[in-house]
């Protein structure tokens, strides 16, 4: 056996030796396999709990790939579990699958395809989506503690004090009132709103202290802030911190469903404020959600757009994109001032168009927060071919109140303007009809006006071409003093009242004596009410029960007269607060004032000359005017 083994081993060595002595064959530098290799290194990256990105190493010579996604599957790839099939090209890698079911096991498999149609074997992996955990805080004026506070105060009852309800601070202030209003609003996003908070005016900006006519709340981590609001057309909802604005959105008209503003707060602990940029705005709900996925806003239209020169034709509308602007000959440029429809919009293009020809085309692109949706506004700017000869006025205004004779017209150049006797100073302002005409005399103030005619005062207008001049003259006629009588009005919205102030010691103002109690003041505060043609802006507050010596008002009468008092109880639900009129020894009149609306109470006094007193028989009263009229 040993000899056989040696012989065989020697034969192999001899064969190897012979082969090694021959010339080497040409090397193989390309292998053309009949099918492509399978994709390798497949990975799944889960983002936002239910979004997944799938990537893999590219296969040589593969022109495309097929992916199959299976739900409730763990590499079984059961046909009835197939959810999505996609064919993608290499530039599509990674492949994104969005909004999958939460907390579900998925399988994904991929195969490569060559240009000749041959396919690789499948290669797959499995992954599991995460369960979305969301922490939500809501301030809904139609539910919970906020609604309880609203119902307790009453619909449309104004308040001027700061309220903190369940973590939401409502920043009312003296003279900057707010109110809750009951209103059956249109359903939106599953919410049936029945109350809102009426801000009753524009709130303070982010860099103004103290805060008023706004609400605020605290966030502690990244979150999605949702605010539902509406108002009159053209009003803008704004959210801000102490350092700047973080969100704006034009809201729907009140008759429409509430507009929803979304803010992606990526910071940490911060106080967020919400206000209207101008007039009042209705807040329905504020929602703070931690853990939700933010969807970028797709609004790409502007809310408003104004131009420094000329007039937009047609009038601006966010959904109208083509305009013509006619401007005077002397115009060198037009500046555009846009109001964004959403704070995260981006504007591409200059907001100034320089005019170098008789006709200039200009455009502004507005890109939505999502970075994809956009709107492009185009403007054809046509400049007049020569300077204007227009030397007329468009407006002529005199401050202080009075009557024109005749009524103002650009073609009438001579006027008499009659003012009441108590007015001794006026300011005349005028604007030209043509933007490049020059106005002289506008803004002048004329003081120490005498009874009768004063002036005439002149306003001159020079046309753009400097060749035409037009002069307007105004004679200011101050009336004689009114014939006096013994009637007396104390309107707490007018001088010497009409301001926010309080008194702790006895004082006489315009023959009306204020008698505070030792432990309470009599104060004046801002508050709007109207009745019998009077528009009251301030009120006198008797802060508790009174008598002829404390917490009362005193005034003298000369005989029989009618005393009229406009007022209401200081509490909206009060039913037992009498207004008392006394002559110092006897209660002449006592009648309850309710607190739901303003009331008028009248008393016919038949006594002689003497002092009368007004006070409350039980707790606080708000008085707006006292009138004494003699037969």
Domain co-membership, 96 together with 155: no
Please count the structural domains in the chain.
5
In a domain, 361, yes or no: yes
- What pLDDT score was predicted for residue 24? 46
Question: Which CATH number covers residue 406?
Answer: 2.60.40
- What pLDDT score was predicted for residue 378? 97
Domain co-membership, 166 together with 250: yes
- Residues 510 and 496: their CA atoms lie apart, in Å, by 7
In a domain, 30, yes or no: no
Segments forming the whole domain that contains residue 83: 40-128
Torsion angle of alpha carbons 299, 300, 302, 307, nearest 10°?
Answer: 170
Domain co-membership, 540 together with 615: yes
Task: Phi first, then psi: give them for residue 3, nearest 5 degrees.
Answer: -65, -40
In a domain, 7, yes or no: no
The candidate with the shortest Cα–Cα distance to 180, out of 170, 189, 190, is 170
- What pLDDT score was predicted for residue 453? 87
Domain co-membership, 147 together with 280: yes
In a domain, 408, yes or no: yes
- Residues 101 and 73: their CA atoms lie apart, in Å, by 13
In a domain, 1, yes or no: no
- What pLDDT score was predicted for residue 13? 37
- What pLDDT score was predicted for residue 1? 39
In a domain, 296, yes or no: no
Grouping H, G, I as helix, E, B as strand and the rest as coil, residue 280 is coil
Task: Phi first, then psi: give them for residue 153, nearest 5 degrees.
Answer: -70, -40
Question: Which CATH number covers residue 76?
Answer: 2.60.40.10
- Residues 60 and 74: their CA atoms lie apart, in Å, by 28
Domain co-membership, 538 together with 622: yes
- β 178-182/158-159 pair status: antiparallel
**What is the per-residue pLDDT across 80-112, written as a single tens digit (0 to 9) for each?**
999 999 999 999 999 999 889 888 999 999 999
Last residue of a domain, one of 443, 458, 478: 478
Last residue of a domain, one of 255, 290, 325: 290
In a domain, 333, yes or no: yes
- What pLDDT score was predicted for residue 297? 84
Last residue of a domain, one of 80, 96, 128: 128
Angle at 561 between CA 556 and CA 567, to 5 degrees: 80
Element housing 145 (H / E): helix 144-153
In a domain, 295, yes or no: no
List, for the chain, all residue ranges whose pLDDT scores fall below the cut of 50. Answer: 1-31, 483-484
Non-local CB neighbours of 492 within 8 Å, separated by 6+ positions: 498, 524, 536, 538, 539, 540, 623, 624, 625
Domain co-membership, 204 together with 227: yes
């Amino acid at each position: 056996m040993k000899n056989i083994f040696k012989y065989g081993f020697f034969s192999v060595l001899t064969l190897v030796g012979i082969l090694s002595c021959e010339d080497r064959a040409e090397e193989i530098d390309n292998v053309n396999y009949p099918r492509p290799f399978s994709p390798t290194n497949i990975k799944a990256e889960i983002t936002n709990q239910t979004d997944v990105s799938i990537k893999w190493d590219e296969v040589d010579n593969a022109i495309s790939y097929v992916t199959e996604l299976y739900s409730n599957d763990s590499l079984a790839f059961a046909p009835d579990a197939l959810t999505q099939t996609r064919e993608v090209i290499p530039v599509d890698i990674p492949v994104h699958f969005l909004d999958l079911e939460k907390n579900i096991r998925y399988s994904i498999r991929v195969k490569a395809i060559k240009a000749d149609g041959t396919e690789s074997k499948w290669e797959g992996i499995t992954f599991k989506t995460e369960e979305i955990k969301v922490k939500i805080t809501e301030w809904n004026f139609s539910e919970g503690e906020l609604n309880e506070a609203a119902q307790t105060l009453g619909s449309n009852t104004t308040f001027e004090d700061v309220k903190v309800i369940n973590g939401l601070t409502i920043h009312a202030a003296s003279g900057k009132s707010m109110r809750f209003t009951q209103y059956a609003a249109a359903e939106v996003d599953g919410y049936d709103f029945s109350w809102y908070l009426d801000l009753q005016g524009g709130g303070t900006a982010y860099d103004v202290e103290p805060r008023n006519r706004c609400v605020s709340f605290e966030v502690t981590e990244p979150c999605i802030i949702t605010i539902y609001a509406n108002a009159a057309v053209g009003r803008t909802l704004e959210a801000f911190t102490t350092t700047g604005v973080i969100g704006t959105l034009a809201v729907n008209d009140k008759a429409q469903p509430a507009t929803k503003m979304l803010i992606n707060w990526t910071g940490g602990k911060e106080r967020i404020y919400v206000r209207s940029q101008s007039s009042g705005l209705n807040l329905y709900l504020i929602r703070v959600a931690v853990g939700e996925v933010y969807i970028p806003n797709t609004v790409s239209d502007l809310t408003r757009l104004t131009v420094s020169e000329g007039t937009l034709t047609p009038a601006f509308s966010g959904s109208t994109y083509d305009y013509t602007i006619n401007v005077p000959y002397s115009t060198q440029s037009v500046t555009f001032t846009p109001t964004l429809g959403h704070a995260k919009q981006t504007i591409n293009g200059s907001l100034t168009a320089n005019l170098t020809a008789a006709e200039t085309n200009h455009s502004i692109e507005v890109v939505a927060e999502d970075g994809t949706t956009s709107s492009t506004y185009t403007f054809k700017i046509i400049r007049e071919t020569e300077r204007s000869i227009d030397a007329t006025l468009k407006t002529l205004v005199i401050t202080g109140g009075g009557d024109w004779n005749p009524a103002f017209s650009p073609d009438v150049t001579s006027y008499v303007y009659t003012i009441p006797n108590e007015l001794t100073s006026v300011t005349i302002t005028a604007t030209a009809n043509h933007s490049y005409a020059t106005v002289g005399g506008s803004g002048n103030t004329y003081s120490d006006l005498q009874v009768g005619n004063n002036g005439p005062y002149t306003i001159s207008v020079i046309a753009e071409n400097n060749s035409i001049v037009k002069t307007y003259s105004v004679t200011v006629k101050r009336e004689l003093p009114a014939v006096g009588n013994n009637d007396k009005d104390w309107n707490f919205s007018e001088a010497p009242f009409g301001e926010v102030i309080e008194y702790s010691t006895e004082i006489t103002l315009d023959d009306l004596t204020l008698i505070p109690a030792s432990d309470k003041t009599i104060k004046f505060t801002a508050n709007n009410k109207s009745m019998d043609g009077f528009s009251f802006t301030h009120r006198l507050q008797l802060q508790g029960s009174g008598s002829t010596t404390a917490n009362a008002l005193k005034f003298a009468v000369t005989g029989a007269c009618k005393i009229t008092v406009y007022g209401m109880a200081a509490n909206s639900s009060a039913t037992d607060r009498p207004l008392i009129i006394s002559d110092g020894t006897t209660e002449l009149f006592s009648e309850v004032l309710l607190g739901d609306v303003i009331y008028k109470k009248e008393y016919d006094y038949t006594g002689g000359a003497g002092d009368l007193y007004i006070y409350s028989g039980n707790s606080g009263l708000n008085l707006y005017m006292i009138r004494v009229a003699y037969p």
